[in-house]
Amino acid sequence: MSVPTSMRVGPFTPTVLVKKRYLLFYIFLIWISIIPILLEFWFYWQWLYDPVRPVHFYIFLPLLFFLMYLTMVFTALLFAKILLGIVNAFHKPKEGVFLRDLSDKDYRYWSLRNTIKRWPVWLSHKFPFPFLDNVCFKAFGVKTTFTNSLFEGWVDCEFIEFGKNVVVGQGSIIQSAVIVGNLLIIRKTIIEDDVRIGAHAVVMPGTHIGKRSVLAANSVTIVGQELEEGYIYVGIPSKKYKKNRFFEDGLEKVLGHVKDVEGLRQKYEEMYIKRHDDHLSIKERIEHRKEIKEEEKRFMEQQEP
């Protein structure tokens, strides 16, 4: 699988809001993570460099570079983790809806946390093998296992839980925090075992995807959506499409492709044209409208004080 260049090898921690005062954290992390690799190289030089016959030195040099990169990532991780510990001691990360403004403490600490995470995550994404990624996610408190493939998508680094065997598609986005207008919404996203998330799908914060569900390509969930166990979800916003029977045995010959694509498109569109209040009687409709008005009133009353 090849990753596009213009995407800069895909995912980092998303939505980092650069503030000048947070630059110090970057500089500190970059500085501290480079020191041990210099020490490593110096030891290696002292140990193996022989100006007359530098054969050993050059033979093991590539392996040393490999090790140096790993050391850099792990030191960056360690110090980022320590910094995060200190930052979280000052202000515990929590879910909720916050104002997107510097006066809001949660918003400030959220962007600070993301700033700290960015350097190690960037480093581990720049590594061509996926395992460093998973280490990074684990260290920052995302529940994952090494059986998940999260390498090709954008995945947030906090308030996310993954089960086993999750496949995140190319360019799909899994968020636990989203900015809507002037609000920052942080909610926990839970994705259970054997979930397949299609290419370019967007999982919004608060989504709960049950076991063995599929979110098809190019579909989007809404904030706080519950996707039931064992179903295929399609569309923007995603809707229940059919039962996921593709975990059964012996389907190699049964699996078929669609011949009537235009019919299929109509089937997709029917799901959206149908409104949930189609089959309501007149009385029920009137009640429904009343409820909506009452909700609006309550909302306005809340706003006034």
The smaller minimum CB distance to other proteins, of residues 5 and 103, is found at 5
Q: Which of 40, 218, 223, 237 binds other proteins (CB under 8 A)?
A: 218
Site for other proteins in 233-272 (CB under 8 A): 234-235, 239-248, 251-258, 261-262, 264-265, 267-268, 271
**What is the Cα 290 distance to its own chain's centre?**
40
Q: Is residue 225 within 8 Å of 237, Cβ to Cβ?
A: yes
Q: Is residue 170 within 8 Å of 142, Cβ to Cβ?
A: no
User: What Å distances lie between residue 236 and 16, 27, 201, CA to CA?
Assistant: 26, 41, 9
The smaller minimum CB distance to other proteins, of residues 278 and 304, is found at 278
The partner residues of 239 in beta bridges, in order of sequence, read 234
The smaller minimum CB distance to other proteins, of residues 86 and 254, is found at 254
Q: Which of 31, 39, 47, 54 binds other proteins (CB under 8 A)?
A: 54
CB of 297 to other proteins, least distance (A): 26
Does 273 participate in binding other proteins (rule CB under 8 A)? no
Helix (H, G, I), strand (E, B) or coil at 227: strand
**What is the Cα 262 distance to its own chain's centre?**
34
Each residue 8-37 as x (binds other proteins by CB under 8 A) or -, in order, gives -x----------------------------
Does 169 participate in binding other proteins (rule CB under 8 A)? yes
The smaller minimum CB distance to other proteins, of residues 120 and 153, is found at 153
Tokens of 220: 């989007």
CB of 199 to other proteins, least distance (A): 4
Q: Which of 59, 99, 102, 222 binds other proteins (CB under 8 A)?
A: 59
Tokens of 277: 């209040």
> Tokens 């570079």 correspond to what residue?
65
Site for other proteins in 183-212 (CB under 8 A): 196-200, 212
Helix (H, G, I), strand (E, B) or coil at 47: helix
